[in-house]
Amino acid sequence: MDVIKYSEEHNIFRDAVRRFFEKEVTPHIEEWEEAGIVPRSVWKKMGDQGFLCTDVPEEYGGVGADFLYSVILTEELGRTGFTGLATPLHSDILVPYITSYAREELKKKYLPGCVSGELITAVAMTEPNTGSDLAAIRTSAVEDGDHVVINGQKTFISNALNCDLVVLATKDPAVENPYQAIDLYLVEAETPGFEKGKKIKKVGWHAQDTGELFFNDCRVPQANRLGQKGGGFLMLMEKLQQERLMCCIIGQVAAERMIDMTIAYCKERTAFGRPISKFQNTQFRIVEMATEIKLGRAFLDQLIVDHMEGKNIVVDVSMAKYWICEMAMRVADGCVQLHGGYGYCEEYPIARAWRDTRVLSIFAGTSEIMKYIAAKFMGL
């Protein structure tokens, strides 16, 4: 029995999304991987089709759709095997900060562009010496009249080169309590003092323009602050639940795609006069991986339903984020092994899937942090 109840409208939407990716993304993957970035035109095409920020209310240019539309988009993008187009980050992780916490005038100013693809967003939290410990960030925002003056550096920022608008985490050095010193500001890319740094060379996700951002006496209106003064840490904690759920979807679909391509390969590849799928070791390994994938899907689908019902799933999503992402890593390794030497060759898609999967247990909170969060809520 399916846990998630998709309507006919959902199914029609999925077909449209799949056709779009087959036409506009899949044929260009190798080109964009080589270039190290995705053209902005792709974002605009997605916006034209209504495939960005589907939950944004109609008064701001969106359609106010339910979360399942986001799930469908993320799943179908995952099935292309392409990690460079970080639209789930834009639509389902970053723009919700604006929808939930921005002043009305900021919503009217920025949300229509986010929906249309004219504005590409990024979230800047991580710093060179600060990863999971958000309370330890050093990027400062000092009040100066009706502005704040921002100084600091951010790194490992997705969409860093393409971004037009950043949700920037800062700290007020005048506030002693680090958890009450954090604020989030919307910073436009053309703001004086805001500089985009180099693109970071990564093991995987080659087409994703992950980079550094620098702020040197960058003056931002205080009106661009999200929420109440000192409320940044709580806002980040509230939105991280959905961010980590999106990571679970990405990891789950990656595992499902890898096992499908590996089963197909094992049926075609022969050794000692027969397909390697006929060897018991191959069969047992595939069944083991397929079982873990099914467990991940059951866990994930229930979390999606609970999230849509407004339940607090912080503990469960922390468990799922660590387990599903590490399961995807185990599947990636097992699938490469079954491909043999060809699995280590770039011409086979399992090679890129393998290296792209590795980062899933690191970003949006490492596996170790996920376990720490769950343990804390369990009273351990």
Residue indicated by tokens 């939930």: 100
59 is catalytic: no
Residue indicated by tokens 């840490």: 233
The distance from CA 245 to its chain's CA centroid, rounded to whole angstroms, is 9
Question: Residue 83: beta bridge partners?
Answer: none
Residue 225's contacts (CB-CB under 8 Å, 6 or more residues apart) are: 148, 183, 184, 185
Nearest by Cα to 152 from 198, 230, 214, 197: 214
Nearest by Cα to 46 from 118, 117, 95: 117
Choosing from 243, 288, 346, 347, which is the catalytic residue? 243
Question: Residue 275: beta bridge partners?
Answer: 270
Please say whether the beta carbons of 303 and 316 come within 8 A: yes
Tokens of 25: 């993304």
SS3 track for the chain: CCCCCCCHHHHHHHHHHHHHHHHHCHHHHHHHHHHCCCCHHHHHHHHHCCCCCCCCCHHHCCCCCCHHHHHHHHHHHHCCCCCCCCHHHHHHHHHHHHHHHCCHHHHHHHHHHHHHCCCCEEEECCECCECCCHHHCCCEEEEECCEEEEEEEEEEECCCCCCCEEEEEEECCCCCCHHHCEEEEEEECCCCCEEEEEECCCCCCCCCCCEEEEEEEEEEEHHHEECCCCCHHHHHHHHHHHHHHHHHHHHHHHHHHHHHHHHHHHHHCEECCEEHHHCHHHHHHHHHHHHHHHHHHHHHHHHHHHHHCCCCCHHHHHHHHHHHHHHHHHHHHHHHHHHHHHHHCCCCHHHHHHHHHHHHHCCCCCHHHHHHHHHHHCCC
Q: Which residues are catalytic?
A: 243
